[in-house]
A and B are shown apart, each in its own frame.
Chain A
């Protein structure tokens, strides 16, 4: 079994152990969503600081999704890679999308009424961050926080 996981580490990086999804359409959905994320993070034994970072990141992304994408779908997954366990969150909306992702990832950039540290700040809080967007089709953001990351 040992040899097997080692071999798979290089080919398939992440395995999904458990998943759950939640629809976010209004501001009041945010608190239950945060609680759900917390539940999963607690279940895999994530420490308090990393939990707080993850939930704060989730909170930022959900707000973006509500504000710019008019709400959307969220996916909560328990994933593992090698000996590490973690939580993967995916936020997808069918909003207008982001024309210039590079710009949006710069500290201090904003199109809305905010501080402009949303995306880069969020990236600093998590272990892995991936954003895909097509103008007119929507935006998908994926983050992973490893239990000890």
Chain B
């Protein structure tokens, strides 16, 4: 029986609201153990009602240049990942059953090992007397070891290695969503394969490209372990500065201010990428 005055739409809405309860345990956990501490940290940056810490972060050339350096690293990692990932994703989207299984296995294998272990592995591989340099010298290709470690090269190699799957997967997913009749139609209408790709397939995969780029850029910006271990102090990322402020100087309020700057920069870039690619997304969905 309907109780009087109880609107049918209200009943309908109540049914939908019940589903929200399913998310409550996870939200509770994140809220108490993550969101609340983060908010506390952010609040620390303006403790005592002063913007002093932000002024220091903005005016001291060191901090600004580190932020710019972080963005440069993130940009380079994103670009390298894109160039390496697109062909892989394209191949996977066209591969047969065996190729797909092997490709996916190789792609997801690194996720079974921690980033820390993988980064240490790079130390072994890239060092002056590492596997790579020794092999190249033994074969007589080089005489002086290549500077692969404790510099930008090492950081880029390590970060690209860790982040590459995050670029491949969204591009692969967006390529799969493209109706295979579309490139076929393009070829039937007179397009050579490469023109069909440039005019049809690539533009339609842009949602995946932009998702991958946003993901990698944002993850890179906050990267810590890999640049810390492979950069040898020559590549400083914002996250390393924050860690230094907390661990060495116990300057929590300033670390909080830097964290806030990083968070805001990350969100801004995320929004920017989203806006830049909204056009292509609208066209494809």
Q: Do A and B bind each other?
A: no
